[in-house]
Every structure is written in C-alpha cells, then in structure tokens.
Amino acid sequence: MDNKLMLMIPGPTPVPEAALLALAKHPIGHRTSEFSNIMAEVTENLKWLHQTQHDVQMLNVSGTGAVEAGIINFLSPGDRILVGSNGKFGERWVEVGEAFGLNVETVTAEWGKPLDPAQFAEKLAADKDKQIKAVIITHSETSTGVINDLEAINRHVKAHGEALIIVDAVTSLGAFNVPVDAWGLDVVASGSQKGYMIPPGLGFVSVSPKAWEAYKTAKLPKYYLDLGKYRKATPKNTTPFTPPVNLIVALHTTLGMMKAEGLESIFTRHQRLKNATRAGIQGMNLPLFAADDAASPAITAVAPQGIESDKIRSLMKKRFDIALAGGQDHLSNKIFRIGHLGFVSDRDILSCIASLEVVLLELGYEGFTPGGGVAAAARVLSQS
C-alpha cells in the first residue's frame, strides 16, 4: 500500500497533523503585530525548551547552517579550536573550521564509539596559555546513533575556563536533557526537522553571555549568519530578514504540544523508545552498532550480518512504506538507522519491529525466532 508513509529516519521526522494544517495556512505579513505575537510566544517556548533564561536565535537555515552560525560568530581567523569527531557530523564541523581558516585540532573516536572525555581533559589541561578558544561537540551523532558524554566533556571545558563549548544538539535537543544554563553550555545549535516536529527549514542557536562577550571581538566575516543581528531583533519579536513564516506558525503549534507534554515526559518517552527499539533489535538477534551506554535516544543504528542493510531498507519501504535511513560514507549498506525522534509513539516502535520481522523472514534470515523482536520490545514498553 502506497501513500501511507511512516518516516523513521533521523529527519525529517514525523509531523503532527496540527502542524501540517498550520503549514497550510496562508502566510501573514512578517512585519505585523499578529506575527509578533506568535514570535513572542515562540521565543518564550524556545527558552523553555533550552532550559535557559537567554534568548534563542532562530534562523532560516538547515541544522548545518545553525551550527556554522554557532561557530563563526565567536571566533577569529587562526583561532585554535578542538573538535570532537566520531561520525559524519563531527567531520563536518572540522570542515567548517578549516573553511574559515581556524586552527583545528581533533579528538577522534571510531564511528560507532563515543568520544573519550579524558582525551579532552588532557588536551585542555595541556593548554596552559589558554589558546584553545572553543570545543565543538556533536552531542548525538546522527550518522551512527552514538551519544557523546557532553556533560563530562563540558566539565573539562569549564575547568579550562577560557574555551567556549559549542554544541551540535541537532538530534539531541527535544529528545535528551540539554540543560543549557545549568550546564553552562555556551552555544547550542539545533534544527527544526528533528525534536521540534516540523519540516526542515529553521535552525536555532542559544548563546550564553560568555559567548556574547567573545562575539564582540570575533572577526570571522558574516552577515546573513550574524547572530548579533538576530539578537537585536528577537526582543522586539521580529527578525532581521524575512523569516519562513509558515514554518514558524507550525513551530508555534508544536512548541505548544511539547510544553503540554512536559520536558520530563519527552525525555522519558525517548528513553523508552530507544530501549524498546534496542530490545526489539536484539530480540531478532541483529547486532546493535552502538553500545548501550553510548546509545542515542534519537537514533538506533543496526549492523546486520549476512544481509545487506539496503535490502532490508528497501523491502521495509516497499512492503510497509516505512522509511529507514542507510549508513553514510564507509557505512553505506553496512548499517541501517531507525529514527525515533520527535513525534514518535510506542505504537510506532512496535509497528517498526513487527514489520522488520516480516522483512527478515521474506529475506530468508534464519537467525531469529519470529515474534522474538516484538516480544522483547513489548517487555520494555510494558515495564516503563
């Protein structure tokens, strides 16, 4: 059956009907009191979601654009930065740093393994002259389903004292606890097609007072991505450039839904979705790509043995209209990724695991007992 698509990729994520209907509303003028009223509520709710008392800036860009803005606004050519790299997105922030002439040093881990906080501690402790101006971390590495220990790494950044902590929270914000003010996270960037439950097109950047201090002397050139321009406009409930009005109206709707659900419930739900997915995968005797203690609450990567990942994905799409993500770069056809981020319910996980069982049977995979995946997922769901 076609036209009954179920998105279980790490983004775009499923969009609730109320947000789809909001998207379909005729745009209103962006220099009107009606739009300003929406902006005022969106700004308040973004602060709530980021657990910060400071304004969160909203840009008409993808997640990459948001992270780039989060980097280039606070640094000058030649500045030394430390970038954690253990997947596609960590590698991308290295590329951004190099494109802007920063002096990039990396802390790496194999794709599928988390970054080691001790390696950050060592490099930061060795930097007696305080030359490291920023540490850039991908919190949830979308390419592998690994979550990095941001809290631990950030403690070492705080001990250093000088460096800013800049976080790619694109697939963690709205799924995992990211208490911006409590942890003292200087820059946190995210994108709309993830935990926010709306289509792609908006990026978000929270900025700490310490980062705004760095902004004053930062010399990398910028205009459209100049967060200072957004900072001036936000308290006036407006935007420096024409904003994507329809997406913002839809965001207004989903932020309201998130607030009604509550942060704790959102985080608990994502933990439960992750645990049920992982149990289901293990119940089919398929290998998980990331270890339990480094498993992202947003994405589960699976590394099947003896069956091509792309065959599984292709049959899941054809047979059940469930979209799963493939592996990127050298992991192409080696893993598949299940997104369980945003507007995803317990039922969706059961549908996905049950459908996977049928697909495995049809592909002739004999390494599991039919029903084993669903039973394992059910056990988690019934206990939590």
Q: Is 337 known as a binding-site position?
A: yes
For its own copies, the closer CB: 2 or 264: 2
- For the bound state, the minimum distance from the C-beta of residue 316 to its own copies, rounded and expressed in Å, comes to 12
For its own copies, the closer CB: 96 or 284: 96
For its own copies, the closer CB: 20 or 182: 20
Sign for the CA dihedral angle at 256, 257, 262, 263 comes to: negative
Q: What HEC string does 3-35 produce?
A: CCCEEECCCCCCCCHHHHHHHCCCCCCCCCHHH
- For the bound state, the minimum distance from the C-beta of residue 282 to its own copies, rounded and expressed in Å, comes to 26
* Residues 179, 51 contacting (CB under 8 angstroms): yes
For its own copies, the closer CB: 113 or 194: 194
Q: How far apart are CA 132 and CA 134, in angstroms?
A: 6
- For the bound state, the minimum distance from the C-beta of residue 367 to its own copies, rounded and expressed in Å, comes to 28
- Residue ranges binding its own copies (CB under 8 A): 5, 7, 9, 11-12, 14-15, 20-21, 23-32, 60-65, 68, 72, 95-96, 99-101, 191, 193, 199-201, 220-226, 241-247, 323, 325-326
For its own copies, the closer CB: 282 or 328: 328
Sign for the CA dihedral angle at 143, 149, 153, 155 comes to: positive
Enumerate the β-bridge partners of residue 295. Answer: 146
- For the bound state, the minimum distance from the C-beta of residue 172 to its own copies, rounded and expressed in Å, comes to 16
For its own copies, the closer CB: 90 or 191: 191
In degrees, to the nearest 5, what angle opens at C-alpha 159 toward C-alphas 154 and 165? 35
* Residues 277, 347 contacting (CB under 8 angstroms): no
Listing from the earlier edge strand, what are the strands of the sheet with 299-302? Answer: 6-8, 322-326, 336-339, 299-302
Distances (CA, A) of 91 to 94, 109, 149: 5, 11, 18
- For the bound state, the minimum distance from the C-beta of residue 173 to its own copies, rounded and expressed in Å, comes to 15
Tokens representing 208 are: 């700490």
- For the bound state, the minimum distance from the C-beta of residue 59 to its own copies, rounded and expressed in Å, comes to 9
Distances (CA, A) of 136 to 112, 154, 199: 18, 10, 26
Enumerate the β-bridge partners of residue 85. Answer: 108
The annotation places the binding site for substrate at 337
Binding residues: 337
